[in-house]
Amino acid sequence: MLHRSRNLFGAVAAFLFATAIVYAPRIAVACSVCTSGREEENQMAFLLTTVFMSVLPLAVIGTLGFLLWRRIQSIEAESEAAPPPGASSSPNR
Amino acid sequence: MSAGTHSPGMRLVAEERQPRAVSNGVLGMCLFIISEIMFFAGMVSAFTIIRASAPIWPPPDQPRLPIEATAFNSAVLLLSGALVILAQRRFSRDRSTARVPLIAAIALATFFVAFQGWEWVSLLSQGLTMTSSTLGAFFYLIVGTHALHALAAIGMLFSVWRRFERGWLQPSQLATAAVFWYFVVGAWPVIYWRVYL
């Protein structure tokens, strides 16, 4: 019962938060960094560099992770294709 | 004595060592490079915003940056990176054939840094200093930081070359130094594009 009421509370809180974001976008305008520039070029520079700095670590770490995963896959494929140790090629031993 | 004669309490298992995906050195260097990428990205982002905020850019009373000469120097740096790739490939096949590209890469890398230093002397004499303008401040900060990284990477490559000549060089050691040099080479076109152009 307590678990259900917690889930319900979380769902209601998430709904109210999403509603506030949709119907009150002016809250974002309070960011002094994003809106301090009076000129469009300055605002665009702020926006683009913010997006750049946010996406860059995800891209770099994701790329490194992907390359490592590919390397592990190739090593596992090689070890599966290689004959087991001690396997004799001569039929009469 | 085979494994089957041991008591049940002592189980000797022939551990099959799986090769590592990357060496510890390369992995550690990659993690360090990630932090350095963010460091350079922060500086370039700050420079981008300052540049966009300026009413006139570049500042009219400051000397122009040597775009053409630096383009030539950039080509030298890229060639150095290609030679390190070649040295790595040759080292994995026939170690003795890696000597020439490795030495050439170090020589070109040293030329790059020396040429940068010569450019700096010229710009300083023309009045572009760290305190003369925001252009000067960011130029010396960003390009100087890159030069420090380049010097450190050259030191690593030189150390690799010394080990190579003594026959002590391991592939993982060469790979670790090479990865750092690839970062230095790869970061430069971005810096050239944002700072010089």
pTM: 0.78
Say what the alpha-carbon torsion angle B178, A63, B191, B119 is, to the nearest 10 degrees.
0
What's B97's DSSP letter? G
B158 burial type by CB count under 10 A (0-12 exposed, 13-18 middle, 19+ buried): middle
pLDDT of residue B1: 47
Residue A45 in contact with residue B48, Cβ under 8 Å?
Answer: yes
Q: Do A45 and B51 touch (CB under 8 A)?
A: yes
Q: Would you call B42 an interface residue with chain A, using a CB distance cutoff of 8 Å? A: yes
Of A46, A57, A64, the CB nearest to B49: A46
pLDDT of residue B60: 87
Instruction: Tell whether ipTM is more than 0.85.
Output: no
Q: Tens of pLDDT along B118-142? A: 999 999 999 999 999 999 999 999 9
Residue B183 in contact with residue B36, Cβ under 8 Å?
Answer: yes
Q: Tens of pLDDT along B99-113? A: 999 999 999 999 999
- Tell me how close the Cα of A21 comes to any Cα of chain B, in angstroms: 28
